[in-house]
Amino acid sequence: MSKKIILSGIQATGNLTLGNYLGAINNWKKMQEDYECNYMIADLHTLTIRNNPENLRKNTLNLLALYISAGINPEKSNIFIQSHVAEHAELAWILNCYTYMGELSRMTQFKDKSAKHADNINSGLFTYPVLMAADILLYQADLVPVGEDQKQHLELTRDLAERFNSIYGETFKVPEPFIQGVAARVMGLQEPTSKMSKSSSIPNDSIFLNDEPDVILKKFKKAVTDSENIVRFDVKEKPGISNLISIYSAITGKTKQDIEKEFEGKGYGDFKVAVAEAVIEELKPMQEKYKELKDNPDYLEKIYKTGAEKAKIIANKTLKDVYEKIRISFIEERKYECLQIMLK
């Protein structure tokens, strides 16, 4: 039996958080043995927010180094950079023509980001989920491992695949979101009712993957809790402590009940230190490897070039089928280009 196909990605916006790690990368790593995995660095998506262009290339390569440091093995998984495979932008245009304005206006991420960046509500921000659908559908992915916040985008992807298939016949596999684990939605340490985010402007709200151990400890010590001083899981009444329990559970594999028992009679101080230490230990090997890899551009180049070639073969096959279905002519040279890559 052939393995199920996975596709996922992270935006190359620099500074990843513990949320990105527990909600995405950590699960990706575990899936490599049992699935055919494609992990993409989403650089085109980052253009929807104004960033310093100098940083984009650096962030893209750094994210590649981070994927590998975190245990994504290029021998097992196909790792590539989104913009290297032009089919993503092409399919996004086609899918745009099958997506309704109403659907995109309902996307909570669009609403959040347009409130945050009121001076730059560009149409890319609006159609962002369509590019994400193209990313996924090109690879005929069965499963898309993401954090909870991407669920709505996945639902749109499924709707688009079903819509296209119902008009033109079976073209895209309809993917399932794969949202796993107790940390599918890691919350901010200072604002535990909002998700931990790369772009949070609140000091000490996010743990970044490159934070030094003393910074991690300090941030956890300052985490907002409540006055009960009992380690007990209750998202409604105790969002701060519940978030810390989820983080600790995701890293140690202990259940929430075990954690409550372990810290019975102990105060929040002890618990916060235990969570911080678990996070520090978990991130340590990745941080060490990252320091080595990020200054090895030749190695990284080899990985992303091979990745792009493999990705192109798959993406090109799907796009060709789409073009045939909608009767857009597909120039022959393109087939040859693909063939040449395959023969290499």
23 near ligand TYM, rule: CB under 6 A: yes
196 near ligand TYM, rule: CB under 6 A: yes
Near ligand TYM by CB under 6 A, which window of 54-62, 180-188, 263-271, 307-315?
180-188
Determine which one of 4, 76, 173, 198 is catalytic.
198
Q: How far is the CB of 116 from ligand TYM (least distance, A)?
A: 13
Q: Which residue is listed with tokens 């499963």?
A: 143
Near ligand TYM by CB under 6 A, which window of 52-60, 147-155, 214-222, 230-238?
147-155
Contact between residue 95 and residue 130 where contact means Cβ atoms under 8 Å apart: yes
Q: How far is the CB of 53 from ligand TYM (least distance, A)?
A: 19
Build a one-symbol-per-residue string for 25-64: x at contacts with ligand TYM by CB under 6 A, - elsewhere: -----------------x--x-------------------
Amino acid at residue number 102: G
Region for residue 226 given its phi and psi (left: phi exceeds 0; alpha: psi -120 to 50; beta: otherwise): beta
**Residue closer to ligand TYM, measured from CB, 224 or 230:** 224
Q: How far is the CB of 27 from ligand TYM (least distance, A)?
A: 9
Near ligand TYM in 74-93, by CB under 6 A? none
Q: How far is the CB of 185 from ligand TYM (least distance, A)?
A: 5
150 near ligand TYM, rule: CB under 6 A: yes
177 near ligand TYM, rule: CB under 6 A: no
10 near ligand TYM, rule: CB under 6 A: yes
Residue nearest to ligand TYM (CB): 23
Is 272 one of the annotated active-site residues of the chain? no
Contact between residue 56 and residue 43 where contact means Cβ atoms under 8 Å apart: yes
11 near ligand TYM, rule: CB under 6 A: yes
Is 195 one of the annotated active-site residues of the chain? yes
SS3 of the chain? CCCEEEEEEEECCCCCEHHHHHHHHHHHHHHCCCEEEEEEEECHHHHHCCCCHHHHHHHHHHHHHHHHHCCCCCCCCEEEEHHHCCHHHHHHHHHHCCCCHHHHHCCHHHHHHHHHCCCCCCHHHHHHHHHHHHHHHHCCCCEEECCHHHHHHHHHHHHHHHHHHHHHCCCCCCCEEECCCCCCCCECCCCCCCECCCCCCCCCCCCECCCCHHHHHHHHHCCCCCCCCCCCCCCCCCHHHHHHHHHHHHHHCCCHHHHHHHCCCCCHHHHHHHHHHHHHHHHHHHHHHHHHHCCCHHHHHHHHHHHHHHHHHHHHHHHHHHHHHHCCCCCHHHHHHHHHHHHC
**Residue closer to ligand TYM, measured from CB, 148 or 262:** 148
**Residue closer to ligand TYM, measured from CB, 19 or 74:** 19
Is 113 one of the annotated active-site residues of the chain? yes
Q: Which residue is listed with tokens 């745009």?
A: 96
Q: How far is the CB of 42 from ligand TYM (least distance, A)?
A: 4
Near ligand TYM in 121-140, by CB under 6 A? 132, 135-136
What is the C-alpha R_g of the chain? 21
**Residue closer to ligand TYM, measured from CB, 74 or 145:** 145
Q: How far is the CB of 77 from ligand TYM (least distance, A)?
A: 14
Q: How far is the CB of 145 from ligand TYM (least distance, A)?
A: 7
**Which residues are identified as catalytic?**
113, 195, 198
Binding stretches for ligand TYM (CB under 6 A): 7-11, 19-20, 22-24, 42, 45, 132, 135-136, 144, 146-147, 149-150, 184-186, 195-196
